[in-house]
Structure 1
Amino acid sequence: MKFTGKVLATLCLLPAANVLADTTSYPLTLSNCGQEISFQSAPDNIVTVGQSATEILYALGLSDRVTGTSVWFNPVLPEFRDVNADIERIADNDPSFEAVVNKKPELVAAQYEWHVGPSGSVATREQFHDLGIATYIMPADCDTKDNTTGGDGTRTDAFSPDSVYKGITELATIFDVQDAGDALVADFEAREKEAVARAERLELPEDLSAVFWFSSPEQVADPYVAGQLGAPGYMMDKLGIRNVVESDEEWPVVGWETIARADPDIIVVAHMDRRRYPADDVEKKLEFLENDPVAREMSAVKNGNIIEMDAHAMSATMRTILGLETLADALSTLSFDQ
């Protein structure tokens, strides 16, 4: 069965709380992913390196300040399609340092430290700061996470959407739109609670298990699957599902023989537009599961318990709540009879 995330229809122009949020007092100084950043006023020109930062800024009503975007896994959320169409996409994947700087941003907002960080593939934060360009890294990629271990990093503690909400709140503070930030967080908290309640009403099997497959470097190669402590681990924990992958790495490589021995009840496969690896294509994933002599023997494949989910929802982003909703909705349609 195929499932994708629900349309997020309530992000924009959410009503403010009855009590007005505090206004920002400039100059503003924040601690962000181990560095202090300061703002004399709200930046007017932003370039984003990562879809998470882009969509949060759009959701806060700040699209008119975004002049360039990059690093996309899935199409922009439908409610942002029109505003996004008028903003330059510098690159589908990693932009060059020069391409970002040429937009003359006052702020570069990045989703991952491996793009903008100590060994950033785009640049270090210092390279931007030397040019007078502020940088902001989404806290979901550095809170409870060690990015010095290589690859996609290792979680030091379980991901919580609180780190996403922290990013929303801090960006709202930087741009003095706290009411929009508060409303956005409240909406996500309510949706999270409702998704969990829907799953609880299903009375699922006690030892229900799953694996989240993001991609693979080659069609028949060992896959990148979700570790215990990342966003998929959060989804599984919230809905009472056991992750068959025991690693704390964000996206460890695990052999299909090992996964098959664990025999997950559910396989969640990432759907994305990116085509860096052959298995980025969800149809290639499904073809592999149906035809590989090891994978096709798993219970999840035999029972048709395969769920498609936006790849971006599998990362630590605001779309993680959409992923939680996707998973909760899908569980009501699956069969776990042996």
Structure 2
Amino acid sequence: MSLRSLSIASVGAIAFALPALAETTYPLRLANCGAQTTINAEPRGTVTVGQAATEILYSLGLGDKVLGTSLWFTDVLPEFAEMNSGVARLADNDPSFESILAKRPDLVTAQYEGHIGPQGIVATREQFTDLEIPVYTLPADCIGKDNSTGVDGTRLDLYKMDSIYQSITELARIFNVSERGEALVSELKAREAAAIDKAAGLDLPEGTSAVFWFSSAEMDIDPYVAGQGGAPAYMMNALGLDNVIESNEEWPTVSWESIARANPSVIVAARMDRRRYFADDIEQKLKFLKTDPVASQMDAVRNNRIVILDAHGMDPSIRNVAALEALADALAGFDLK
């Protein structure tokens, strides 16, 4: 089911079946990423810094509230293409503080604390609140995570979809559409459970493992792969796969020699539209895996057990559910006995 049909048809049906939720009372005060966010009235408009935040708002039917977007990894979900075409894109990557202010938002919605936070690339939270513009950061980037350790941060606890469900519920409250939020969460939870059940039915052998390759700064140096705590680690844990990467960093660099020694059963490679690095191109990733003298000898490559997933599905986002479904489907097609 597409998120478009989810947000329009399924969400509407589920919302009709759920008991009516109280309208939001303002001022609304929320504990958010170690700070207090106060929303004095229903926001007339928001600027988003991060694709995950943008697509949550679109899924809640709040596209008309989005004044500008930034920080994109790939194209918007197809069901929101028309909606997104009418929204100003302030930057493909990091927007300027001034470009956000120029849109006169009542709220700034951020995906990463690294962009708007204590050492924010774009600004600090205080720079916005001093101008009476509240900031809401997706809890998925803060719960069980230490963002003081670097750009990507370090996971202290395993990421769970609950933090995305919290983001949906709180954004729905902020914009006074709580019923839509409850309906969206209910549908996503059902899909998540079905994907986990499908993988459980495969009865994978003990020790079946995987590595998630996001990108590489250069093709011939250590790749950025998923550590033990982020969204890919959650997927592997949920579907019964061991993560061959032991680091708790979100996206550590690990040598291909080390990965080859671990010999993962499955390789998951990110596909994206971003071209910050040469290895962002999925075709270059596949070429490397099949021609590199070390990587090409791994069982996953020799037996074509390579799964291509949307890159944004590897970051905490509503796309994690679709990525979980795609990975479960791929595992069902591999001979892993």
Give the C-alpha shift of residue 7 in structure 1. Answer: 4.0
Mapped to 2, the partners of 1:111 and 1:204 lie a distance apart of: 34
- TM-score, normalized by length of structure 2? 0.96
Q: Does 1:11 align with 2:10?
A: no
Moved more, 195-204 or 250-259: 195-204
CA offset digits 1:257-316 (Å, max 9, x no partner): 000000001000011111111111111111110110000000000000001001111011
**Which residue does 2:265 correspond to in 1?**
265
Ranges in structure 2 where 5+ consecutive residues have no aligned partner: none
**Which residue does 1:149 correspond to in 2?**
149
The answer to whether the 8 Å contact 1:303/1:335 transfers is: no
Q: Does 1:73 align with 2:73?
A: yes
Mapped to 1, the partners of 2:186 and 2:203 lie a distance apart of: 27
**Which residue does 2:325 correspond to in 1?**
325
Q: Does 1:116 align with 2:100?
A: no
CA offset digits 1:158-211 (Å, max 9, x no partner): 101000001111101111100000000001100001001111222222211000
Q: Does 1:185 align with 2:180?
A: no
Kindly indicate which of the two structures has a greater share of residues assigned to helix: 2
Identity of aligned residues (%): 57
Mapped to 2, the partners of 1:107 and 1:170 lie a distance apart of: 13
**Which residue does 1:253 correspond to in 2?**
253
**Which residue does 2:277 correspond to in 1?**
277
**Which residue does 1:219 correspond to in 2?**
219
Mapped to 2, the partners of 1:220 and 1:293 lie a distance apart of: 11
What SS does structure 1 have at the residue aligned with 2:234?
helix
The answer to whether the 8 Å contact 2:4/2:59 transfers is: no
**Which residue does 1:3 correspond to in 2?**
none
Mapped to 2, the partners of 1:60 and 1:187 lie a distance apart of: 12
Matching residue's letter, 2:28: L
Give the C-alpha shift of residue 18 in structure 1. Answer: 2.9
CA offset digits 1:78-104 (Å, max 9, x no partner): 111111111011111111111111111
**Which residue does 2:314 correspond to in 1?**
314
The answer to whether the 8 Å contact 2:4/2:80 transfers is: no
Give the C-alpha shift of residue 27 in structure 1. Answer: 1.1
Mapped to 1, the partners of 2:54 and 2:4 lie a distance apart of: 17
Mapped to 1, the partners of 2:190 and 2:5 lie a distance apart of: 12
The answer to whether the 8 Å contact 2:211/2:244 transfers is: yes
**Which residue does 2:48 correspond to in 1?**
48
What SS does structure 2 have at the residue aligned with 1:274?
coil
What SS does structure 1 have at the residue aligned with 2:179?
helix
Number of residue pairs aligned between Structure 1 and Structure 2: 332
Moved more, 6-15 or 282-291: 6-15
**Which residue does 2:236 correspond to in 1?**
236
The answer to whether the 8 Å contact 1:217/1:279 transfers is: yes
What SS does structure 2 have at the residue aligned with 1:12?
helix
Give the C-alpha shift of residue 40 in structure 1. Answer: 1.6
**Which residue does 2:334 correspond to in 1?**
334
What SS does structure 2 have at the residue aligned with 1:293?
coil
Structure with bigger RCO (C-alpha 8 Å, 6+ apart): 1
What SS does structure 2 have at the residue aligned with 1:10?
helix
**Which residue does 2:91 correspond to in 1?**
91
Mapped to 2, the partners of 1:268 and 1:187 lie a distance apart of: 26
Mapped to 2, the partners of 1:72 and 1:11 lie a distance apart of: 22
Ranges in structure 1 where 5+ consecutive residues have no aligned partner: 1-5
The answer to whether the 8 Å contact 1:153/1:249 transfers is: yes
- TM-score, normalized by length of structure 1? 0.96
Mapped to 1, the partners of 2:232 and 2:222 lie a distance apart of: 19
Give the C-alpha shift of residue 9 in structure 1. Answer: 4.2
Mapped to 1, the partners of 2:18 and 2:245 lie a distance apart of: 45
**Which residue does 2:28 correspond to in 1?**
28
Give the C-alpha shift of residue 10 in structure 1. Answer: 3.3
Matching residue's letter, 1:120: G
**Which residue does 1:138 correspond to in 2?**
138
Q: Does 1:304 align with 2:299?
A: no
Mapped to 1, the partners of 2:221 and 2:206 lie a distance apart of: 32
What SS does structure 2 have at the residue aligned with 1:44?
coil
Give the C-alpha shift of residue 51 in structure 1. Answer: 0.4
Give the C-alpha shift of residue 336 in structure 1. Answer: 2.8
